[in-house]
Amino acid sequence: MKINVSNIKKAVKYLNNNECVGIPTETVYGLAANAYSDKATKRIFKLKGRPVDNPLIVHYFNIKDLERDCETNTLFYKLYNSLCPGPITFILKLKNKSKISKNVTNNKKTLGVRFPNHRVARILLKSLKYPLAAPSANISKGISPVTKDDVYDEFGEKIKFILEGGRSKVGVESTIISLVKKPHILRLGGLDISILNKKLKINLKTKLHAKSNINSPGRGRIHYSPGIPIRLNAVKIKKDEAFILIKKKKENNKNYFYLSKTNNLMESAKNLYKTLRKIKKLGYKKIAVQRIPNQNFGLVVNDRLFRASRK
């Protein structure tokens, strides 16, 4: 993708002015603002309708910048060196002298940090004198955006600028690992847990449903919701349902929507939000989903669909 320098300069100008800007990352688009500014970060919560006790992830250009705000440890360095920039968020201890706005953490002593692997995002981060707080650029509880147009769909003219960066390659949010005490996963996402298990020579749990997520406040009951009922593990569709599939069916049907035609779970994760958004736009009132194997990226797809399906 060709880099549009004047667009990046525009984004810098808005951000320096405490405005929120839509930014591309490899996972999903973010709603970014100066993480050191109370005024800018407050705007993120207001625009998203996000509860103030749900902390934001902060995006850094590199480890040197991060060391000003967070305590690091050997495990962190190990993972940073082999996986960053990439679709992983680390929960670390905040330094006492950190400049991160209290709004970001809701006064807590830990911070979620990430180094996005997207050229536009990296050039932007390098051009700034502060890191960027950025939750996914959707109204609270909704579907994360994977293109500039999706972000516009969510906020319209309410945000001043959205930086173009093509379609997000990963298509689901970052994997979150807490390194504050014993390492554990808080959210399944774009980085396969088996890679982490190999690096750390441990066995991180992937069963995160329901109650086990209390430490990540954003793991609320309903999330990633297209706003219409979703029926999981469906074999056949009922009248008027949109059917989400991961494996090609012999017959054609206008109500079929493929995440993948070859049972490819990584491709399915990438296409999930795009497909949910499309189905909603087409005006369907109900969704049925074919059974998706609970392994690798299938775990992520099932996690999101499970939350999206709750009433």
**Residue ranges binding ligand TXA (CB under 6 A):** 25, 27-28, 30, 54-57, 89, 91, 108, 110-112, 114, 116, 134-136, 173-174, 176, 186, 215-219
d(CA 91, CA 219): 15
Task: Find the helix or strand (DSSP H, E) in which 187 lies.
Answer: strand 184-187
Give residue 69's region: left, alpha or beta (phi > 0; psi -120 to 50): alpha
φ, ψ dihedrals at 89, nearest 5°: -115, 135
Nearer to ligand TXA, 83 or 111 (CB): 111
CB of residue 241 to Mg ion, shortest distance in Å? 26
Cβ contacts of 236 within 8 Å, gap of 6 or more: none
Report what 176 binds from ligand TXA, Mg ion, none; CB cut-off 5-8 Å by kind. Answer: ligand TXA
Separation in Å, CA 268 to CA 32, 52, 250, 264: 27, 32, 19, 6
CB atoms within 10 A of CB 116: 30
CB of residue 24 to ligand TXA, shortest distance in Å? 9
d(CA 170, CA 191): 9
Report what 27 binds from Mg ion, ligand TXA, none; CB cut-off 5-8 Å by kind. Answer: ligand TXA
- Please give the residues from 60 up to 119 whose contact with Mg ion meets the rule CB under 5 A: none
Buried b (16+ CB within 10 A) or exposed e, 266-275: bbbbbbbbbb
Nearer to ligand TXA, 186 or 308 (CB): 186
Nearer to Mg ion, 136 or 302 (CB): 136
Report what 41 binds from ligand TXA, Mg ion, none; CB cut-off 5-8 Å by kind. Answer: none
Nearer to ligand TXA, 142 or 298 (CB): 142
Nearer to Mg ion, 137 or 237 (CB): 137
d(CA 290, CA 306): 13
Pair of tokens at residue 47: 């625009």
- Binding segment for Mg ion (CB under 5 A), chosen from 2-10, 128-136, 202-210, 294-302, is 128-136
Report what 148 binds from ligand TXA, Mg ion, none; CB cut-off 5-8 Å by kind. Answer: none
CB of residue 4 to ligand TXA, shortest distance in Å? 20
Candidates 110, 136, 175, 268: give the one binding Mg ion (CB under 5 A): 136
Nearer to ligand TXA, 209 or 238 (CB): 209
Report what 216 binds from ligand TXA, Mg ion, none; CB cut-off 5-8 Å by kind. Answer: ligand TXA
d(CA 176, CA 74): 18
Which residues of this protein are in contact with Mg ion, per CB under 5 A?
136
